[in-house]
């Protein structure tokens, strides 16, 4: 290291520490004095409380001595009461003294923590400002000149030709280069910089084309002065900025220290770390400029090397995602409130495709579409980060869906079984119980080693709050992550929310865990994507949706899979929700998602209003996985249930027009009515698989045909309890995933027959 560099670094450290000490000394002394007075006051109160406690104990002894001198037969009860009351008072005073002492000790601990480093970020910014003012004085002129020379020397190592720079030179144009210094650069410095840059870019052009450019001058160098840089140089080549200014270093130090403070570490620790790692390295980044902004979409000039889907930084904490790559500008969707964005604002590349934090720290939390906490429980400590858009598992890394995922809902587990790794669509009109089915499935995973993710898209915040409250009351929030993109947020947040939820779930899946993810609902995501596409001036298609709206949902739902053992054996089961209009499942978005998923659960408005909950239409609901993902005992007893119910619905629609019915038709109608009544189920009233098997078998065998419809709920409870008590071995067989043997079925029929006689 050169002697000048060493001296300049030492001067920087001395100035930073001196300014920090001068600014914070009075503040810390004042804070210490106030804290000390409070501690003394608390200790005095604690001492008074202890004195009161001793006085009370003395009084207790006197009362006891007086009580023993009186007659035992007359004052026995009085003496006992006095002792109890006195002991309680003494204990209360002692506890009060202990509380005051603990409070005083806690305040002292906090004061010591403040004295050892918890300095506010505001003070840190003031230190940076004072440091900048000090470095602008004439006494530091040699160091400022040395910084410029050092920057020019490092240019050869740091500056490189970007793809956009090479394309510009291939077109025969010169690169626009702007060098900005805190003080005007000398002619010698400008000549040295010009020569170095020409050599770098001519060499890069030669490597790309195979021949050197015809001219020896490939850059158009412009020199500017900006005193706000404090010291050092900022070089801009096209869209790329090479920042070696002191102002940038101070800004980076403040930002890093504030970031440490947000993570729960003292701000001063961040300052010490930033100062301790201070070096003369250049800060290299690419920037663009906002040329228009409206409705959550902004056009940015520059950023020629930006990637599709890359996250960019705008003014404040606002983030954006690149979605359109034009020749002269890029389209950026803004992920947050954009009222403060104006034309001319700087947009900076991050170099990262948009990603979210993932890990076990996400369980039990409510986060937004970028993984930022919304529940007020403090920062999340992630196990890593994962891109919101990632390729689906290969067919070679998947295995068949054979392990059931029990929802606890009789109508689903019996008629449209869901397996781990399956994609089962829940579809129906508004207010038909779609979300209720999904939440029941989440609640039923308690104790089954399945992690759940609920993605709320375009819902009211009050609705999401009620869902979180209900899941918390039922103990399901411990293994559930809620990703919320409410209706009040911009359309881009609604667009990426499902992908963020899938990324969180994929982390667990590749860890070998089973995941259940609910997208509620994808209709609103498609509407948000349509809004974004129209604002980006993409050509509309059917129902004004863009042509790639099918790909929007297919690349999301294909990420649900059951991995093979070599890939970890985990699974992610997707329950997407689609809202229909007037039961029209032939609309654009419903038909798209139906063709992507492995089946659908169709909820009918008419059934819902007639009191059938869940209002599942048996004819239109299907699981393409079928019995492969159904418990063997359930498959055994509910094999013909779908056919019987479909036949009953058909006969019931014609029976209302007929006056005379034959005995077989009447028997079918009676059985169907009782089975329909049996399949009714309230929300958050999940049933275990053994209870479902027993109840459905009893109804299928006709033991409930003569039961009054209003008594079916009582019949179900009592028959399940009776069979489980009489045949505990049956429960073991069902839970072990085995078929019920023929001899056990005969015993079960005898047990049901004896129960029916006493019902």
Residues annotated as catalytic are 624
CA distance 434 to 425: 10
The encoded tokens of residue 597 equal 């998923």
CA distance 145 to 409: 76
The encoded tokens of residue 199 equal 């050599």
The encoded tokens of residue 544 equal 């004004």
CA distance 52 to 57: 9
State how far the alpha carbon of 379 is from the alpha carbons of 92, 145, 371, 622, 756, in Å. Answer: 38, 43, 10, 42, 59
State how far the alpha carbon of 649 is from the alpha carbons of 662, 666, 673, in Å. Answer: 17, 13, 9
CA distance 265 to 394: 42
**DSSP per-residue letters across 654-677:** HHTT-S---HHHHHHHHHHHHHHH
CA distance 355 to 581: 34
Edge-first strand order for the sheet with 450-457 is: 366-367, 480-485, 450-457, 514-520, 571-579, 425-428, 599-603, 622-623
CA distance 630 to 437: 18
In the block, residue with structure tokens 């003369």? 280
CA distance 126 to 271: 13
Question: Which candidate, 745, 646, 752, places its Cα nearest to that of 704?
Answer: 752
- Determine contact, residues 593/578, Cβ cutoff 8 Å: yes
Question: Which candidate, 355, 354, 317, 369, places its Cα nearest to that of 490?
Answer: 369
- Determine contact, residues 470/454, Cβ cutoff 8 Å: no
State how far the alpha carbon of 681 is from the alpha carbons of 426, 436, 689, 692, 730, in Å. Answer: 17, 11, 14, 11, 24
Burial 48-64, CB ≥16 within 10 A → b, else e: ebbebbeebeeebeebe
State how far the alpha carbon of 222 is from the alpha carbons of 191, 235, 650, 669, in Å. Answer: 12, 10, 83, 89
- Determine contact, residues 681/409, Cβ cutoff 8 Å: yes
Residue 482, beta-bridge partner list: 366, 454
- Determine contact, residues 177/200, Cβ cutoff 8 Å: no
């Amino acid at each position: 290291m050169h002697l000048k560099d060493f001296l300049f670094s030492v001067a920087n450290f001395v100035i930073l520490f001196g300014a920090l000490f001068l600014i914070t000394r009075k503040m810390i002394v004042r804070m210490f004095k106030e804290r000390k007075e409070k501690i003394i006051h608390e200790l005095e109160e604690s001492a008074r409380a202890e004195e009161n406690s001793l006085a009370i104990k003395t009084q207790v002894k006197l009362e006891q001595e007086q009580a023993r001198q009186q007659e035992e037969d007359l004052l026995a009860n009085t003496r006992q009461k006095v002792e109890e009351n006195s002991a309680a008072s003494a204990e209360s005073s002692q506890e009060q003294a202990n509380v005051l002492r603990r409070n005083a000790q806690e305040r002292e601990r906090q004061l010591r923590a403040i004295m050892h480093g918890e300095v506010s970020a505001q003070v840190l910014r003031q230190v940076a400002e004072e440091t900048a003012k000090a470095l602008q004085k004439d006494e530091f002129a040699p160091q400022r000149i040395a910084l410029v020379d050092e920057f020019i020397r490092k240019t050869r190592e740091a500056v490189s030709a970007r793809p956009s720079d090479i394309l510009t030179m291939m077109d025969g144009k010169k690169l626009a280069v702007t060098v900005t210094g805190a003080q005007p650069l000398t002619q010698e410095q400008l000549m040295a910089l010009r020569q170095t840059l020409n050599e770098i870019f001519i060499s890069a052009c030669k490597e790309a084309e195979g021949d050197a450019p015809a001219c020896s001058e490939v850059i158009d160098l412009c020199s500017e002065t900006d005193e706000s840089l404090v010291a050092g140089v900022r070089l801009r080549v096209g869209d790329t900025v090479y920042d070696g200014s002191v102002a940038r270093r101070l800004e980076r130090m403040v930002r890093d220290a504030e970031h440490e403070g947000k993570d729960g570490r003292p701000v001063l620790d961040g300052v010490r770390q930033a100062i301790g790692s201070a070096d003369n390295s250049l800060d290299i980044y690419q920037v663009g400029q906002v040329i228009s902004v409206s409705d959550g979409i902004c056009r940015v000039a520059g950023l020629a090397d930006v990637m599709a889907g890359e996250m960019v930084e705008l003014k404040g904490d606002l983030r954006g995602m690149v979605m359109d790559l034009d020749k002269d500008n890029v389209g950026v969707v803004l992920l947050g409130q954009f009222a403060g964005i104006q034309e001319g604002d700087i947009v900076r590349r991050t170099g990262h495709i948009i990603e979210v934090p993932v890990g076990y720290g996400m369980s039990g939390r409510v986060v937004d579409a970028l993984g930022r906490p919304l529940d007020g429980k403090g920062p999340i400590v992630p196990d890593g980060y994962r891109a919101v858009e990632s390729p689906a598992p290969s067919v070679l890394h998947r295995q068949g869906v054979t392990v059931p995922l029990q929802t606890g809902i009789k109508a689903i587990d019996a008629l449209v079984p869901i397996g781990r790794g399956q994609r089962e669509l829940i579809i129906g009109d508004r207010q038909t119980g779609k979300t209720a089915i999904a939440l029941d499935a989440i609640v039923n995973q308690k104790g089954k080693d399945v992690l759940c993710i609920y993605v709320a898209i375009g819902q009211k915040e009050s609705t999401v709050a009620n869902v979180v409250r209900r899941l918390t009351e039922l103990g399901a929030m411990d293994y559930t992550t809620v990703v919320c993109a409410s209706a009040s947020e911009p359309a881009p947040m609604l667009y990426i929310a499902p992908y963020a939820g899938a990324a969180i779930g994929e982390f667990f899946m590749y860890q070998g865990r089973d995941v259940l993810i609910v997208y509620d609902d994808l209709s609103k995501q498609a509407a948000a994507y349509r809004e974004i596409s129209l604002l980006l001036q993409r050509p509309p298609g059917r129902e004004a949706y863009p042509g790639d709206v099918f790909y929007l949902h297919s690349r999301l739902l294909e990420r649900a899979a059951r991995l093979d053992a070599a890939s970890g054996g985990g699974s992610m089961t997707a329950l997407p929700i689609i809202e229909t209009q007037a039961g029209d499942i032939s609309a654009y978005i419903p038909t798209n998602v139906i063709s992507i998923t492995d089946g659908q659960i169709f909820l009918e408005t008419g059934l819902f209003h007639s009191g059938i909950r869940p209002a599942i239409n048996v004819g239109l609901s299907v699981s393409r996985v079928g019995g492969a993902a159904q418990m063997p005992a359930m498959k055994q007893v509910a094999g013909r249930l779908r056919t019987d119910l479909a036949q009953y619905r058909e006969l019931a629609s014609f029976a209302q027009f007929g006056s005379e019915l034959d005995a077989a038709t009447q028997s079918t109608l009676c059985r169907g009515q009782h089975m329909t009544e049996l399949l009714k189920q309230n929300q958050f009233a999940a049933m275990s698989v053994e209870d479902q098997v027993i109840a459905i078998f009893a109804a299928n065998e006709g033991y409930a045909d003569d039961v009054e419809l209003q008594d079916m709920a009582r019949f179900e409870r009592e028959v399940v309890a009776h069979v489980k008590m009489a045949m505990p071995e049956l429960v073991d067989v069902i839970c072990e995933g085995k078929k019920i043997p023929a001899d056990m079925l005969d015993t079960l029929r005898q047990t049901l027959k004896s129960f029916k006689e006493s019902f």
